[in-house]
Amino acid sequence: MKNFSYLIEKIKDTNITEYPFSHIYIENFFNPLDFQNIIEADSVNTRNFQNNEEMFNSLFNHGYKTIDFPGCISDVDEYCDWHTNKNTSKQMNTACESFGMTLRLMEPQSEILIDLKNFIESREFNEAIAEKFNIKINSVYSDHGIQKYLDGYEISPHPDIRKKALTYMININPHSSSESLNHHTEYLTLKKEYKYVESFWEGNQEYDRCWIPWDWAESKFIQNQNNSLVMFSPSNNSIHAVNAKYNHLQSQRTQLYGNLWYENFDSLQNVEWENLIISPTKANSDFQKSLSRLKPVSILKKIKSKINIFSDRTKHYSDVRNRK
């Protein structure tokens, strides 16, 4: 049985980085031999298909199943119809332009992947990652697996919902040119004019965090390095996103992906990004209606008053110009 305990030591020894938000980043996470054996395993090294039908047959034969996953559908026929002519795109979220598909390896067959599965399911590993981010292990449960993300997979910038206690992503791409392909996770910050959204999430814990449009944020780092790990505990500024546009017949974006979820977590109210738009031109119309639907929301009430002041000043200056 392969001993992966050295990975725990790497996680413990890595300092938490605060930019663009609190996280750890480790390159060369697996040692070279382990990594080579992982990406050469039959169920990871799935490449060079002639068409989607051949690809899906191979992935299913290797033990993958489509899963319900953010930004994705699970119906193969529907996905293939979309993928044939993408001008018939079906939006999964109003902040996105396309939709994709994610498959998870349910029962690995190769020895190294079986050992890896047993390791990431172990109490030792999950205690270590929980401790790294000051999470009580008895308050969470784990969810993890090797996953493949097909062309069209898109999740617009988002910080993750509050029920998620921790997430990690490890690139295990078998394609030699994977680092240059357009399918990697981006880590972002909100633009200055949209920073108020973080304040809203901070001041209104009864509302869950939502996806936001791409043009509300700016990319600061792309995790394209193969055999790299990013791990963080979601917060109001842990903005990340993916927009995969690549040829998945040559090779599929592959990750060892995992989460810790809070066991007992009350359901929250949802506020979508459309309700968070602040525009002086809409201060007395659509935005006012949005605010009234969101009451009581302390942060937005403050924003509303500032917008009213701004609107009054704008009207005053306009009147002065007209009198001249």
In a domain, residue 270? The reply is no
In a domain, residue 184? The reply is yes
The C-alpha angle with vertex 307 and arms to 306 and 310, in degrees rounded to 5, equals: 90
Asked if residue 194 and residue 73 are part of one domain, the reply reads: yes
Asked if residue 282 and residue 253 are part of one domain, the reply reads: no
Q: Shortest CA distance to 185 belongs to which of 11, 10, 56, 25?
A: 25
The answer to whether the beta carbons of residues 162 and 265 sit under 8 Å apart is: yes
**Domain span at 54:** 5-262
Asked if residue 12 and residue 81 are part of one domain, the reply reads: yes
Structural domain total, the chain: 2
Report CA torsion sign: 267, 273, 275, 280.
positive
The secondary structure of 99-151 as a DSSP string is -B-EEEESS--SHHHHHHHHHHTSHHHHHHHHHHTT--GGGEEEEEEEEEE-T
Asked if residue 297 and residue 162 are part of one domain, the reply reads: no
pLDDT in single tens digits along all 324 residues of the chain: 899 999 999 999 999 999 999 999 999 999 999 999 999 999 999 999 999 999 999 999 999 999 988 778 889 998 998 888 876 555 566 766 557 899 999 999 999 999 999 999 999 999 999 999 999 999 999 999 999 999 999 999 999 999 999 999 999 999 999 999 999 999 999 999 999 999 999 999 999 999 999 999 999 999 999 999 999 999 999 999 999 999 999 999 999 999 999 998 888 999 999 999 986 554 444 544 554 455 445 555 555 554 444 444 444 444 434 443
CATH number of the CATH domain containing 141: 2.60.120
Amino acid symbol at 311: S
- The pTM for the full model equals 0.85
The C-alpha angle with vertex 237 and arms to 215 and 188, in degrees rounded to 5, equals: 40
